[in-house]
Structure 1
Amino acid sequence: MLRRACSTTIPSLEIVVLGSGPSSSVPVVRCLVTNPNCPVCPEALANPQSKNRRNNPSLLVRLKGQTVLIDCGKTFRDSILKAHKKHSPFAIDAVVLTHGHADASFGLDDLRDVQHVDPVSKQLKPLEIHCHQRTKDEVAEKFSYLFNTQHTGGRWTAQLQWKIFEDFDHFAISPEVKFQALPLWHGKDYIASGFLFGQEVGKRIAYLSDVSAIGEVAMATLKEAPLDALFIDSLHPEHYHGTHMNLIQALETIEQLKPRQSFLTGMSHQFNYHSPPALLTEFVKTKNISVEMAYDGMQLTW
């Protein structure tokens, strides 16, 4: 059963949405300067608690005693500070990356503040970064100083180690927790990863944050069993974008997969949380399929 944050029962699976916006985040700086009549950006700027205020797409997943971070983008530090207020201090046990773009990986340096510390040596314990080889190839050069290093000369950096998976692999976060990787088109010539997880507690959650199209094998994998929840990319309500789904495409995918609950993510400032697009409202009403706009700080428990 899906529960919201008000429950006092210890959940078997908890998801915190750290970010539900695009690479530029919301509010958009250019929009604030050039379009003061935008119904979203000025409101998001004026109200730090606004559900229109969106950081880079990211999830925090707590499952079987493990805390897993999906993506660590440019806005990670801000996202984790907001989450800290509501969800208590924590250390991250593993990171999984969807791809190597800035909005998914440029916060890796800030992981030093959320790593486990060895109680004897007082040094950071190495944190596993799970990704496909193509993502490692894109990220490794930018953050080479974080991998296979030790603290030297008083320099304090994150201590990270690569863990490589293949497309469709079930890769281990811990002996009790596994994720499955799905290749997704993120434009015509770029492949990102989506993930399936939750099987350890009898749930099936799909996270497809950066996708323009889903291949036949990945779609068949998603359809193998009912989805309890789907997080899916939806950059614009109707405008076509070459590397992201828009709302029309996202709803078409949702109709195919028929998850018990769906959440839109990666949303631009064209989405107003307080006034959802008519297309979304009509879809929910006529199809009787539950679809919501995610928001930063949203907490889901089962």
Structure 2
Amino acid sequence: MVYSLRIVLTHEHADAVLGLDDIRVVQPHSPTNDIDPTAIYLTQYVMDSRLYKIEGYFPSKLSIAKRICSGFMMSIAMLDDVYFKLREGQEVRRVAQLDWRIIEDDYDKPFVASGLKFVPLPVMHGEDYICLDFLFGEKSKVAYISDVSRFPSNTEYVISKSGSGQLDLLILDCLYKKGSHNVHLCLPQVCSKFFQKLGCPEKKT
């Protein structure tokens, strides 16, 4: 069975969204953008965020916007100049075609993408920000945990043995080998606290 490309966003920070226009390199080539869009799953908060104005930067219909810069890194301040309405006589430019699909930031409201069920896992990315990570897989359970500093008790329960059962694979954000950080877990906190809560014995080195 062949599945088309699907993308699930964790949050709207630059490291999560600023590569979206490059998706066009794996989409069918069409100089006029006459192709089926790629599904992007994200929360309403991420869609509405004014910080990056995602929908404005990556419009799903080229008839209202065009790309004038590509192939190099642009500062956040320049992004408002990347897309603008086409004027009469302007050429159509190729950009990624995206289909925005809103999901809930609630582990009781899973969604399905390409036949795979995803369970949303809200985590704290600093005490003032919620990042959305995911649990997926039926026969083998995988938890993808990006940009986390603390686990709310409900999320911690969902990925524990007593919640969804033993994880087969945990992909976990870990910023530094030593010390600590205010918006990310670091290796000492992961080894001394989190693995034990998941039912994994701490490995002595």
> Which TM-score applies when normalising by structure 2?
0.74
- Does the C-alpha gap of structure 1 residues 122 and 105 become closer, same or farther in structure 2, counting only changes over 3 Å? closer
Matching of residues 112-191 of structure 1 within 5 Å = 112-116=24-28, 123-138=34-49, 141-150=53-62, 153-167=91-105, 168=107, 169-174=109-114, 176-191=115-130
Between 147-156 and 213-222, report the one with greater CA deviation: 147-156
| Distance in 1 between residues matched to 2:199 and 2:42, nearest whole Å | 28
Gaps of 5+ in 2: 67-90
Matching of residues 25-64 of structure 1 within 5 Å = none
Bigger Rg over Cα: 2
Q: CA RMSD of the aligned region, Å? A: 2.5
1:233 aligns with 2:180: no
Matching of residues 205-244 of structure 1 within 5 Å = 205-223=142-160, 224=163, 225-244=165-184
| Distance in 2 between residues matched to 1:258 and 1:207, nearest whole Å | 17
SS in 1 for 2:175: coil
Residue 86 of structure 2 aligns with which residue? Answer: none
Deviation at 1:133, TM superposition (A): 1.4
The letter of the residue matching 1:234 is C
| Distance in 2 between residues matched to 1:141 and 1:179, nearest whole Å | 25
- After superposition, the C-alpha distances for 1:88-135 in whole angstroms (9 at most, x for unaligned) are xxxx611011111111111011011112469xx983321111111122
Counting matched residue pairs gives: 171
The letter of the residue matching 2:17 is S
**Share of identical aligned residues, percent?**
36
- After superposition, the C-alpha distances for 1:169-207 in whole angstroms (9 at most, x for unaligned) are 211113x222111100000110001101112xx010001
**Contact 2:33/2:95, CA 8 A, preserved across alignment:** no
SS in 1 for 2:172: strand
- Does the C-alpha gap of structure 1 residues 140 and 255 become closer, same or farther in structure 2, counting only changes over 3 Å? same
Deviation at 1:233, TM superposition (A): 1.2
- Does the C-alpha gap of structure 1 residues 116 and 170 become closer, same or farther in structure 2, counting only changes over 3 Å? farther
SS in 2 for 1:196: strand
**Contact 1:182/1:218, CA 8 A, preserved across alignment:** yes
Gaps of 5+ in 1: 1-63, 67-91, 261-282, 287-302
Residue 253 of structure 1 aligns with which residue? Answer: 194
Residue 81 of structure 1 aligns with which residue? Answer: none
Deviation at 1:210, TM superposition (A): 0.6
Determine which of 89, 93, 110 is the counterpart of 2:5.
93
Determine which of 131, 134, 139 is the counterpart of 1:195.
134
- After superposition, the C-alpha distances for 1:152-171 in whole angstroms (9 at most, x for unaligned) are 83310001121111121211
| Distance in 1 between residues matched to 2:2 and 2:125, nearest whole Å | 32
| Distance in 1 between residues matched to 2:104 and 2:20, nearest whole Å | 21
> Which TM-score applies when normalising by structure 1?
0.52
**Contact 1:179/1:196, CA 8 A, preserved across alignment:** yes
**Runs (4+) off by over 3 Å:** 150-153
Greater relative contact order structure (CA < 8 Å, 6+ sep): 1
